[in-house]
Amino acid sequence: MLRRWVGPLFLASLFPGLVAITAPAGAADLPRLVDLGAGECIPCKQMAPILEELRAEFANRFLVEFVDVWENPAAADRYRIRVIPTQIFLGADGKELFRHEGFFSKEDILAKWRELGVEVGGAEIEPFSRWEPAQPDTRAKEAICYLCDGDNDPRSQVEVQTDKGSVDLCSPHHFFVLLSCLTTDVEGTEARARVTDWSTGQPVAMQSAVYLYGFDEETGRPTIKAFGSRDAALAERMVAGGSLLGYDTLKRKELSQRCGFCDRAVYPEDVAQVKVGGVYSWGCCSHCALGVAARTGMEVEVLERDRLTGDPIRVRILQGSIVSVEPSTAVAWYGQRTRPDGTRVSAGCFHQGFFTSPKNLRLWVEAHPLETGEMITIHKALTDKMALSPEQIRKACKIGECAPK
């Protein structure tokens, strides 16, 4: 948010409350949106195309006016502006109804008009949800990854023993993802973990195994194979290539790249890229990528991929609001589970995603019969993250829910 005091505007800082104002008489008997900013103010520049769109699309619903307070300081003084940009919502009678300081997205502006009783249309997308799986999950418990709900690979499966039985994970990577989420008993979890020997199919202690670390030729994604002996690992290396690593070295590599919101270990090949304040980070899922804006309060740009086609989706965020979504048709899938008491909770990061269109989202859901949740706008996905309390943001995915149990 950019502050610029213009002469007598400093006096306005002494009046923190809203001031009732009256708009100049207009020819049309319509409510009015007055945006007060400046031509060279960065968030004001971000507002410019939004104001043009609103002016073109809702000319018969409300008027849109822009005032450059650097060129017209008297107007800023009259409206008692403390921060630019400021948006003032005026009724048809000219009375102030609401004001907002800082960048304000198109969706937020329209939502506020709806709240104020101005008819500007309904939801942007036709609702779509599925709250019951399309088919029953007939897999055995030990065949399902505790973390991602995917199928366990019998050649790379990891087991963590607990007092209620074993917790199964599909790969060493997902074991380290789980480890990065724990708040307690990290060392105990490592000591109780056993990984499958790639060559024999027998479990070996996670901390004593030798690992063959390589890369998938097509995706560049790391591959990890565990062995109970160095000789077996060397034999596999002769066939598949790669490098031999001990547990501690592998752990450092696996935990070196983290989600910028929830701090989970990630592979860049799997996740969204996030540019925050000029620095690059990651989002372990599309929704956590948006959460970086809530955690940092900074300008954020998210580059995600359509989960069906791999096509790029770019979201730009300023001051907690969406500046642009490319393509504009993109939507989000909010994966959720229904508890026995009927309440719904997030299904976890592995069940969230962006899509370039509602059609692609529906096709993806049809191809994944166990998925449950609903389609929402990317704007709502961000709004949900921005609504989190500082305590919730601080704990994001670090509250022990992923602890093996």
Residue at 200: amino acid letter: T
List the end-to-end C-alpha distance of the chain, in Å, as a whole number. 45
Calpha distance 253→301 (Å, rounded) = 26
Calpha distance 337→401 (Å, rounded) = 15
Architecture of the domain whose range is 19-115: 3-Layer(aba) Sandwich (3.40)
Q: Cα 384 from chain centroid?
A: 10
Cis, bond preceding 340 (omega within 30 deg of 0): no
Give CA torsion, residues 45, 48, 49, 55, to 10 deg: 170
Q: Would you state the pLDDT for residue 403?
A: 53
- Residue entry with tokens 């949800």: 129
CATH of domain 258-395: 3.30.450.410
The beta-strand segments (E) located in 216-278 are 222-227, 243-245, 272-276
Q: Would you state the pLDDT for residue 402?
A: 55
**Which two structure tokens, joined as six digits, stand for 49?**
């195309």
Q: Would you state the pLDDT for residue 15?
A: 34
> Residue 200 contacts by C-beta under 8 Å, 6 or more apart in sequence?
228, 232
The answer to whether the beta carbons of residues 83 and 69 sit under 8 Å apart is: no
Calpha distance 166→159 (Å, rounded) = 6
Domain ranges of the chain: 19-115, 153-254, 258-395
Q: Would you state the pLDDT for residue 212?
A: 98
State the alpha helices, DSSP H only, in 12-166: 42-57, 73-78, 106-115
Longest Cα–Cα distance of the chain, Å, equals 87
The answer to whether the beta carbons of residues 304 and 316 sit under 8 Å apart is: no
* Residue (of 81, 31, 20, 82) closest to 54 by Cα position: 31
Report helix, strand or coil for 122: coil
Q: Is the four-CA dihedral 281, 286, 287, 293 of positive or negative sign?
A: positive
Q: Cα 116 from chain centroid?
A: 29
**Which two structure tokens, joined as six digits, stand for 389?**
């309390």
Q: Would you state the pLDDT for residue 123?
A: 53
* 49-71: burial string, b at 16+ Cβ within 10 Å, e else: ebbeebeeebeeebbbbbbbbee
> Residue 294 contacts by C-beta under 8 Å, 6 or more apart in sequence?
261, 320, 385, 386, 388, 393
- Residue entry with tokens 């088919």: 135
| Phi/psi at 224 (5° precision) | -130, 125
> Tens-digit pLDDT profile for the chain (405 aa)?
333 333 333 333 333 343 444 444 444 589 999 999 998 888 898 899 999 999 999 999 999 999 999 999 998 888 999 999 999 999 999 999 999 999 998 888 998 999 999 988 765 578 999 999 999 999 999 999 999 999 999 999 999 998 888 899 999 999 999 999 988 889 999 999 999 999 999 999 999 999 999 999 999 999 999 999 999 999 999 999 999 999 999 999 999 999 999 999 999 999 999 999 889 999 999 999 999 999 999 999 999 999 999 999 999 999 888 988 999 899 999 999 999 999 999 999 999 999 999 999 999 999 999 999 999 999 999 999 999 998 888 888 664 455 555
Calpha distance 144→220 (Å, rounded) = 25
Calpha distance 251→248 (Å, rounded) = 5
> Residue 330 contacts by C-beta under 8 Å, 6 or more apart in sequence?
306, 313, 315, 354, 355, 356, 357, 378
Q: Reduced to 3 DSSP states, what percent helix, strand and coil does the chain have, rounded to the nearest 5?
A: 30, 30, 40
Q: Would you state the pLDDT for residue 24?
A: 47
| Phi/psi at 102 (5° precision) | 105, -175
Q: Which residues pair with 203 in a beta bridge?
A: 196
Q: Would you state the pLDDT for residue 29?
A: 85
